[in-house]
């Protein structure tokens, strides 16, 4: 506090450098202003020192340097009393406004972290998961937290938290970005499905080699790349890009085409669970479904997490885990039973 450079070269009263106000003005006099406000508030250099956690002499030096910088006497001091001069009263009135704004800003930040959840949330999600899983839960969340406003952005491109100012993102697949916090909500199961009508007419592939004999439907990612189909073979992931009759860049269009009997496609479990349960779809290559993917809720840091983000993450984690998105577990059990029967 007492090491500030107060030379005339560094600080010129009345002729501030407008292009660098902080370094030429505020930074050089900050310690003095804090000491000055403390003395004016407490009415005593000793009490100001106690409040700031420094010695009385350090407070005196800081105020003296400030008076030198301003070329103005701020206090009338005797052995018993300390009073503001007229110039000091005017300076205190102006400084006090700034201090009040700083305190207000700090309290607001603390309130965002510790107080009732409020403010705006900017959420990103892949299109399919956002429509099917995230969006239907938002009304319940908004009714529980009336002071939160929310923006949901659906996009299958990777999320750039910084440039897009995203608070929370839902991501699918495998998370390899170590710069973000990724919390798995549920495993992601990609399954190969067809309609019963298609299966009756064309049959279902019993091996990966038979995929070339079928009408496959592909998903095109932003940027033009075709999403690879993945299968687990002998404990390893095998990727495959089939020759397709149909290609869409929308997951709902792919599902509609499969339900309509136009072909087979590999789709995420959350999208087809209901249709499998209602026997509107049938599954192929059940024993080769990969099990190393997940649906994740992601954010940048655990430290100083605003309460609006914290409650959203907790809410979505509980609600999504409570959904029946893991219905394929029954199929795994059926597959294992089938293998056991064949070995017997």
Q: Please write the tens of the pLDDT for every residue from 123-144.
A: 999 998 999 999 999 999 999 9
Q: How far apart are CA 162 and CA 179, in angstroms?
A: 12
φ, ψ (nearest 5 deg) of residue 270: -60, -25
In Å, how far are 114, 171, 182 from 253, measured between CA atoms? 44, 20, 29
**10, 11, 21, 232 from 14: Cα distances, Å:** 13, 9, 12, 74
The per-residue pLDDT for 281 is 94
Confidence band (pLDDT; 50, 70, 90) for 116? confident
Mean pLDDT estimate for the chain: 81
Strands 75-77 and 82-84: antiparallel
Q: Which residues pair with 244 in a beta bridge?
A: 216
Distance CA 326, CA 328 (A): 5
Task: Determine the pLDDT at residue 99.
Answer: 73
- The predicted pLDDT at position 232 comes to 86
Please work out, in degrees rounded to the nearest 5, the angle formed at the alpha carbon of residue 256 by the alpha carbons of 252 and 257. Answer: 120
Q: How confident is the model at residue 216 (pLDDT cuts 50, 70, 90)?
A: very high
Contact between residue 80 and residue 274 where contact means Cβ atoms under 8 Å apart: no
Least confident range of 30-34, 163-167, 213-217, 340-344: 340-344
pLDDT bucket at 154, cuts 50 / 70 / 90: very high
Read off the pLDDT of each residue in 261-287 and give the average, rounded to a whole number.
91
Q: Given pLDDT bands bounded at 50, 70 and 90, which one contains residue 27? A: low
pLDDT band at 23 (very low <50, low <70, confident <90, very high): low
Q: Is the pLDDT of residue 119 over 70?
A: yes
Q: How far apart are CA 60 and CA 79, in angstroms?
A: 14
Is the confidence at residue 332, as pLDDT, over 80? no
Res. 179: pLDDT tops 90: no
Does the pTM of the predicted model rise above 0.75? no
Q: What is the residue-wise DSSP string for 117-145?
A: --EEEEEEE-HHHIIIIIHHHHHHHHHH-
Provide the 3-class DSSP secondary structure of residue 152. strand
Question: CA torsion 178→183→186→192, rounded to 10°?
Answer: -20
pLDDT at 104: 66
Higher local confidence (pLDDT), 280 or 157: 280
pLDDT band at 32 (very low <50, low <70, confident <90, very high): confident
User: Per-residue pLDDT for 56 more than 60?
Assistant: yes
3-class DSSP state of 16? coil
Q: What is the pLDDT of residue 112?
A: 59
* pLDDT above 70 as % of the chain: 82
Domains annotated for the chain, with CATH where assigned, are 18-110 (1.10.10.10), 119-187+294-322 (3.40.190.10), 190-290 (3.40.190.290)
pLDDT class of 81 with cuts at 50, 70, 90: confident
Residue 342 scores a pLDDT above 70: no
Q: How confident is the model at residue 3 (pLDDT cuts 50, 70, 90)?
A: very low
């Amino acid at each position: 506090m007492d090491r500030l450079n107060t030379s005339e070269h560094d600080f010129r009263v009345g002729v501030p450098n407008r292009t660098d106000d902080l370094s030429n003005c505020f930074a050089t006099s900050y310690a003095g202003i804090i000491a000055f406000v403390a003395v004016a508030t407490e009415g005593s250099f000793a009490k100001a020192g106690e409040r700031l956690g420094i010695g009385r002499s350090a407070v005196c030096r800081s105020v003296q340097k400030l008076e030198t910088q301003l070329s103005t006497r701020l206090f009338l001091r005797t052995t018993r009393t300390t009073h503001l001069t007229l110039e000091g009263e005017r300076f205190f009135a102006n400084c006090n406004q700034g201090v009040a704004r700083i305190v207000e800003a700090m309290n607001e930040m603390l309130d965002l972290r510790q107080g009732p959840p409020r403010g705006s949330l900017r959420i990103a999600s892949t299109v399919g998961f956002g429509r099917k899983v995230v969006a239907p839960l938002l009304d319940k969340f908004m009714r529980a937290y009336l002071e939160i406003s929310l923006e949901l952005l659906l996009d299958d491109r990777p999320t750039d938290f910084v440039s897009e100012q995203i608070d929370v993102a839902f991501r699918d697949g495998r998370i390899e970005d170590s710069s973000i916090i990724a919390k798995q909500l549920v495993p992601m199961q990609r399954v190969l499905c067809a309609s019963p009508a298609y299966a009756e007419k064309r049959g279902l592939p019993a091996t990966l080699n038979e995929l070339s004999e079928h009408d496959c439907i592909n998903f095109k990612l932003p940027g033009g790349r075709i999403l690879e189909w993945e299968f687990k073979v002998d404990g390893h992931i095998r990727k495959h890009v089939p020759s397709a009759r149909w290609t869409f860049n929308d997951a709902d269009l792919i599902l509609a085409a499969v339900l309509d009997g136009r072909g087979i496609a590999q789709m995420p479990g959350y999208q087809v669970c209901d249709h499998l349960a209602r026997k509107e779809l049938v599954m192929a290559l059940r024993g080769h479904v990969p099990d190393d993917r997940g649906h994740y809720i992601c954010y940048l840091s655990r430290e100083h997490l605003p309460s609006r983000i914290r409650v959203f993450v907790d809410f979505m984690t509980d609600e999504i885990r409570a959904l029946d998105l893991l219905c394929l577990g029954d199929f795994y059990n059926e597959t294992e039973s089938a293998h056991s029967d064949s070995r017997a």
